Structure 1
Amino acid sequence: MNTLTKLTASTLIAGAVLAGTATAHADPAPPPPPPTKQQALDAMLAELGVAWAQGGAAGTAIGAVVGLGIGCVSMFPGSLAGCIIGAPTGATIGGLIGMGNGNPKVQQSIETYLNTP
């Protein structure tokens, strides 16, 4: 190969490399399509199942015991009424806290379900 051919080939390759890098770009990925109401419901129920298994049941049991104790003690003269009100209230609050701590994604899945048209 003579010198002129080598020089021409090198120049063409260098020019192609520079031109290729100057014009290359990538478009951002398109956003995923919004979920349907059924897909959002399925996702929410799956997250709720995980949350219940990872802390909801324990939170409910602990909340019921604490609510029962506080209700029975705080309304001493009418302690039966306090026990009846305290146990389900404590169970509800304990279940919600246990599920929220057991799976942090459960709140987002509920909001997604409620906001899906």
Structure 2
Amino acid sequence: MSVKEQFIENVKEGKVLTHKCTSCGLLHLSNVYYCEKCGSKGFEDSILAGVGSIATYTIITVAPAGFEKYTPYAFVILQLDDTNLRISGFMSGITTPADLPVGTRAKIVDFDERGIIIEKQ
């Protein structure tokens, strides 16, 4: 199974596949060759709970081609708990900023043609 396939399978279970530097412990979302902190080439897989707080978002009311049936929605950035990592995804039904204050608790719940699906906790 490819890294992409492993990542998607974990997301469908509400988890995030990361790569942890075996030298300094820094977590990376992408498949990297060198640690951005210490330069090490050693990594191990680390699975995180896909839970955190909304760091920022954009509400989409006029969607690009192929996404019209999902509007309105928010493209959100989720700050994963207890990490330096942020991950982006889609949250349905968000029409105004009052619907999604920054800091709202949220979780990854699925992956589909839009990408990562995030819901409020």
Q: Give your verdict on TM over 0.5.
A: no
TM-score of the superposition, structure 1-length normalised?
Answer: 0.19
Q: TM-score, structure 2 length as denominator?
A: 0.19
Q: Which has the larger radius of gyration?
A: 1
- In terms of fraction of residues, the more strand-rich structure is 2
**Bigger share in helix:** 1
**Greater relative CO (CA pairs within 8 A, separation 6+):** 1
